[in-house]
Amino acid sequence: MAGQANYIKNLKSETVVQQVINCLTDGIVSGELKPGDRLPTEPELAANFGVARTSVREATKILSYMGVLESRRSEGTFVSSGFTESMIDPMVYGIILGRGEDFDSLIELREMTEVGIMRLAMKKGGEEELRRIRDCLDDFEDAVAGRRGEVEEAAFMADEAFHNAVSAMCRNDLVDKINRVVRMLTYAVRRKTVSTMISTGRARRLLDVHWRIYELLKSKNTEGLEEFIHETYFLDVVKN
């Protein structure tokens, strides 16, 4: 790539994926990256940002899901030419670019969303969805046991799959899209939580929380649901 655009920055090691997302969206907001522009290749972006290719891949995957970028097979990744359904509406795109830097606000948004999702999942979900969630728990167990590759990465991906399966249990596409927006906005917090729980020997506690969510969905028991969801965030971990 000729020269180096202003949005290419040297990133800190913490929350690398989110920082790559921030830099790319900065490029879009500033106009350096315009609708229809082709992004540099994954290796080029990784080299310019000074990060691993996996971080670039995950960041572009998130932005593609949100409709900010679009991947064209054999052509590359491009800035979307307009809003897509997956953005939900321009307001959400503004939230993405704003990056939700207020920690407490993000936690409140996540808590409100997850409690609502749990209630709707209990109301509308069936045995098929519960079996899918149960399979996700088996995968989570394998991840923590080191049977799925690098433990922290595998555990985080298993956590993602689990919560996406819970969201799908709502049988509501709009709710599912909103949930994915909230989970993207809280990506860094969630990633740190899983990583710290694994690295400090609390993997079993993390797993037990997910098993408890499964049991609540299965029993359709909403008693104390709000308090339980709040406790699952392990705020002592992410605030330290």
Q: DSSP code of 235?
A: H
Q: Give the list of residues 6+ apart from residue 30 with CB closer than 8 angstroms, or none.
A: 6, 7
Q: Please report which confidence band the pLDDT of residue 3 belongs to, taking 50, 70 and 90 as the band edges.
A: low
Please check the confidence at residue 96 and state whether its pLDDT lies above 70: no
pLDDT for 89 equals: 46
Q: What is the DSSP string of 107-159?
A: HHHHHHHHHHHHHHHHHH--HHHHHHHHHHHHHHHHHHTTTTSSHHHHHHHHH
Supply the mean pLDDT for the chain: 85
**Tokens describing residue 58:** 């995950």
Domains (range + CATH), the chain? 16-87 (1.10.10.10), 102-238 (1.20.120.530)
Q: Please report which confidence band the pLDDT of residue 240 belongs to, taking 50, 70 and 90 as the band edges.
A: low
pTM of the model: 0.63
**pLDDT tens string 6-58:** 666 545 444 788 889 888 988 887 888 988 999 999 999 999 999 999 999 98
| Unique residue bearing structure tokens 């830097």 | 101
Residue 9 CB-density burial (10 A; 0-12 exposed, 13-18 middle, 19+ buried)? middle
Q: How far apart are CA 162 and CA 22, in angstroms?
A: 26
SS3 59: helix
Q: How far apart are CA 37 and CA 79, in angstroms?
A: 5
